Amino acid sequence: MSEKIPVVDVNIGEKEIEEVIKVVRSKFLIEGKNTREFESKFAKFTGSKHAVTVVNGTSALHLALTALGIGPGDEVITTPFTFIASSNAITFNGAIPIFVDVDRNTYNIDPEKIREAITNKTKAIMPVHIFGNPSNMKEIMEIANEHDLYVIEDCAQAHDARISGKHLGTFGTLGVFSFYGTKNLIGGEGGAIISNDDELDEKIKSLKNHGRNPKGGYNHYQIGYNYRITDIVAAIMNVQMDRAHEILDRRHRNGNLYRKLLDNQEGLTIQKILPNHSSSDYIFAPLITKKDITPQMIISYLKKKNIASRTIYSVLSYEQPCYTNISEWIFAKVVNYPDYSKVSCPNAEYIATHHFELPMVSTLSDENIYYIVDSLKFFF
Ligand SMILES: Cc1ncc(COP(=O)(O)O)c(C=O)c1O
């Protein structure tokens, strides 16, 4: 290939540009009709009753936890194999992330490990559908119902990921999405919280706007934040929603092709998708099973072939200095955090040190994928 195949690409067309210009020309830049239109499109897309937009996925997670009253000293069980935002959102409110191990095949939180970690301080479970692969929501919801726990689904990477046709984010108490500029559907920045609960929805709408009465005025019922988006971002996201099938179908085609061509490849295993689960195909990241081969060796080899590749979460959340030095966090004045340097999740550690990401973007062609797969096969 003469042109480099990127690992990240942005699928923005003329229509997005036109709509942005229209908003700017209208001079109505703040949340308005584009935002409301997007919320209704996104609720429809996910099959949820409500969708509220916020500035990004991190603030969406933060508001979800806040709306559920999760605060200082409460424990939230989550995975360490994710972007740092998942656990940080828990830590923002003084709640305690309890990291449990993942399943080595799916890379997602292991329900058995959730059971073992429940204490009388546990308030919620936060599964993260990593790389867009649905977590085992059947078992997670059984555990949550048994122990009366909230479930906040981190669907930042899971647009169009489903279980038996039902969109992720609709299984738990709340579902949280990101529209960061590299996600499946993008706004540059942007986030949303979906729910079927009228009361929670009202609360989230108020919390994102300084705890204000969502119907307007300067009455503030509760301490809130300014997590409002702009209509410029909403205009981009509206076009992305209209193009969702075109963008996402290409990703699914990429994922299916990789899975078909690399299943049973000597030296590798690929992320397992459970029966009746379908991935958003956000990231394709196999694990190396061949002794003495490191991710860096493959990445350097692919680079010579003009194929971009990388590792993503090679440092787990509990290994990050912000958790090993948690005593410096403001809430450490009032909350007893665990000693995160003593946490051990062997499966997550294995995945962190054995994975590498291949290009999965919606601008790839079948030819690109055959070339990437042939190059990998040659390597092994
Ligand atoms: C799993 C996960 N959770 C949360 C976030 C936070 O989203 P944002 O970057 O929009 O704040 C991201 C992504 O970027 C993510 O990948």
Q: Please write the tens of the pLDDT for every residue from 324-335.
A: 999 999 999 999
Q: Who's near 321: CB < 8 A, 6+ residues apart?
A: none
- Protein residue closest via CA to atom 7 of ligand 1: 57
Distance of CA 24 from the midpoint of ligand 1 (Å)? 27
Identify the pLDDT of residue 270. Answer: 98
Per-residue model confidence as pLDDT tens digits over 33-64: 999 999 999 999 999 999 999 999 999 999 99
pLDDT at 1 over 80: no
Beta strand 174-178 with 166-167: parallel, antiparallel or unpaired? unpaired
CA–CA gap between residue 190 and residue 176 (Å, rounded): 11
Distance of CA 53 from the midpoint of ligand 1 (Å)? 14
Counting atoms of ligand 1 from 1, which one is nearest the CA of 180?
Answer: 10
Q: Which positions are catalytic?
A: 183
Give yes or no for residue 180 CB within 6 A of ligand 1. yes
Give yes or no for residue 83 CB within 6 A of ligand 1. yes
Give yes or no for residue 155 CB within 6 A of ligand 1. no
**pLDDT confidence of 3, banded at 50, 70, 90?**
confident
pLDDT at 139 over 80: yes
Distance of CA 247 from the midpoint of ligand 1 (Å)? 20
Give yes or no for residue 156 CB within 6 A of ligand 1. yes
Distance of CA 188 from the midpoint of ligand 1 (Å)? 12
CA distance between the termini of the chain: 20
Ramachandran class of 256: left when φ > 0, alpha when ψ lies in -120 to 50, beta otherwise: alpha
Indicate the helix (H) or strand (E) that contains 75.
Answer: strand 75-78
Mutation probe of ligand 1 site: the residue of 90, 107, 126, 178 with most atoms within 8 A of C-beta:
178
Identify the pLDDT of residue 370. Answer: 97
Identify the pLDDT of residue 85. Answer: 98
CA 376 centroid distance within chain: 27
**pLDDT confidence of 277, banded at 50, 70, 90?**
very high
Counting atoms of ligand 1 from 1, which one is nearest the CA of 130?
Answer: 1
Contact 31, 54 (CB under 8 A): no
Counting atoms of ligand 1 from 1, which one is nearest the CA of 82?
Answer: 1
> What is the residue type of 107?
Y
Average pLDDT over residues 292-303: 97
CA–CA gap between residue 54 and residue 190 (Å, rounded): 6
| 0.75 surpassed by pTM | yes
Identify the pLDDT of residue 132. Answer: 98
Which of the pair, 361 or 69, is modelled with greater confidence? 69
At residue 85's C-alpha, the angle toward residues 90 and 225, to 5°, is 65
**pLDDT confidence of 245, banded at 50, 70, 90?**
very high
CATH of domain 14-243: 3.40.640.10
Distance of CA 190 from the midpoint of ligand 1 (Å)? 10
Average pLDDT over residues 176-187: 97
Indicate the helix (H) or strand (E) that contains 177.
Answer: strand 174-178
CATH of domain 244-313+348-379: 3.90.1150.10
Identify the pLDDT of residue 213. Answer: 87
Give yes or no for residue 128 CB within 6 A of ligand 1. yes
Please give the share of the chain, as a percent, with pLDDT higher than 70: 99
Distance of CA 85 from the midpoint of ligand 1 (Å)? 6
- For the chain, the domains span 14-243, 244-313+348-379
Identify the pLDDT of residue 287. Answer: 98
pLDDT at 191 over 90: yes
Distances (CA, A) of 270 to 214, 261, 267, 275: 46, 11, 10, 15
pLDDT at 214 over 80: no
Average pLDDT over residues 135-160: 98
Give yes or no for residue 133 CB within 6 A of ligand 1. no
Q: Picking from 142-146, 154-158, 213-217, which range would have the lowest pLDDT averaged per residue?
A: 213-217
- Protein residue closest via CA to atom 8 of ligand 1: 57
Contact 133, 157 (CB under 8 A): no
Identify the DSSP state of 267. T
Distance of CA 187 from the midpoint of ligand 1 (Å)? 13
Q: Who's near 10: CB < 8 A, 6+ residues apart?
A: 181, 182, 186
Give yes or no for residue 191 CB within 6 A of ligand 1. yes
Q: Which two tokens stand for residue 192?
A: 């949303």
Counting atoms of ligand 1 from 1, which one is nearest the CA of 179?
Answer: 10
**By C-alpha distance, which of 42, 34, 116, 92 is closest to 322?**
92
